[in-house]
């Protein structure tokens, strides 16, 4: 099946501990408790955002530790230091 013909919605069946689903229903905001599909999709979206955030933070930490990048940042800082003193900052 080509990408153009893939359906926009994918169906999956999940199984998990009853206590987990009961806790999700109990903690969900009123009006959302009845829609388990929406609750699970929200949880997946938040998890994906968390993973992306972690990956971004790890990449920033790697960049901050990179000697070449640190040298470049210092060079840029030197170039712009004069403009910091012009009173427009």
Domain ranges of the chain: 17-84
% of the chain surpassing 70 pLDDT: 92
Stated pTM of the model: 0.69
Among residues 62, 59, 66, the alpha carbon closest in space to that of 51 is found at 59
- pLDDT above 60 for 1: no
Q: What is the pLDDT of residues 60-86, one digit of tens each?
A: 999 999 999 999 999 999 888 877 776
DSSP type of residue 28: S
What is residue 3's predicted lDDT score, i.e. its pLDDT?
64
Contact 75, 60 (CB under 8 A): no
Q: Is the pLDDT of residue 88 over 90?
A: no
């Amino acid at each position: 099946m080509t990408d153009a013909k893939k359906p926009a919605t994918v169906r999956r069946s999940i199984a998990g501990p009853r206590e987990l689903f009961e806790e999700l229903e109990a903690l969900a905001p009123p009006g959302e408790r009845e829609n388990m599909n929406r609750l699970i999709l929200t949880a997946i979206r938040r998890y994906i955002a968390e993973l992306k955030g972690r990956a971004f933070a790890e990449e920033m930490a790697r960049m901050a530790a990179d000697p070449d990048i640190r040298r470049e940042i210092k060079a840029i800082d030197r170039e712009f230091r004069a403009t910091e003193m012009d009173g427009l900052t």
